[in-house]
């Protein structure tokens, strides 16, 4: 699907006013070869622990976007090269991490899109603590399971419905 976040905002100003379409704050860095991606959200709430991230990416992505509420932590990478490759293999459209990623060179070689706050070389814990399929707060914006994510060079949109 080809889209422009700017055009979507222009065409759906009414939804922006209602709050059913929101724009994530411009705090994210872009990684991966796919600079634009979209799809329904699969949500996780974890903190410095990526076991549930791996478990999600091991499932068929079916063009969905994994949204990881990592609490904005800047202390470890939640997604690295191996997980990005797994996401690509399992046909995820993209990943948004409210936290850090690692292995930037490997991420940029993968054919999916990623957004994260920064890179960090330290790996996360592996305890399996967190929640799946819950409302996630990403940089102050609520993302519900099934919300539509639209990410391109101009920004990231969160919509409660699919936009045309």
Identify the structural domains of the chain with CATH numbers, from first to last. 5-159 (3.50.30.40)
Output the pLDDT for position 1.
74
> Please, are residues 87 and 95 in contact by the beta-carbon 8 Å criterion?
yes
Taking only the tens place, the pLDDT of each residue in 76-89 is: 999 999 999 999 99
Residue 136's Cβ-side half-sphere holds a number of Cα atoms within 13 Å equal to 31
CA nearest to 6, candidates 158, 154, 161: 154
What pTM was computed for the model?
A: 0.97
Taking only the tens place, the pLDDT of each residue in 17-26 is: 999 999 999 9
3-state secondary structure of 158: strand
Taking only the tens place, the pLDDT of each residue in 126-146 is: 999 999 999 999 999 999 999
**Cα 70 from chain centroid (whole Å):** 11
As a whole number of Å, the end-to-end CA separation of the chain is 10
Taking only the tens place, the pLDDT of each residue in 46-75 is: 999 999 999 999 999 999 999 999 999 999
């Amino acid at each position: 699907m080809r889209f422009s976040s700017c055009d979507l905002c222009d065409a759906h100003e009414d939804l922006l006013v209602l709050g059913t379409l929101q724009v994530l704050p411009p705090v994210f860095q872009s990684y991966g070869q796919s600079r634009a991606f979209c799809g329904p959200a699969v949500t996780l709430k974890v903190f410095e622990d990526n076991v549930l991230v791996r478990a999600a990416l091991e499932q068929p992505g079916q063009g969905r976007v994994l949204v990881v509420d990592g609490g904005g932590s800047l202390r470890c990478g939640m997604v690295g090269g191996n997980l990005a490759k797994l996401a690509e293999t399992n046909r995820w459209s993209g990943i948004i991490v409210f936290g850090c990623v690692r292995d930037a060179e490997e991420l940029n070689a993968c054919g999916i899109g990623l957004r994260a706050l920064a890179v960090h070389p330290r790996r996360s814990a592996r305890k399996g603590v967190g929640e799946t399929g819950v409302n996630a707060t990403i940089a102050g914006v609520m993302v519900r399971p099934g919300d539509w994510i639209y990410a391109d060079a101009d920004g990231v949109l969160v919509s409660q419905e699919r936009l045309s």
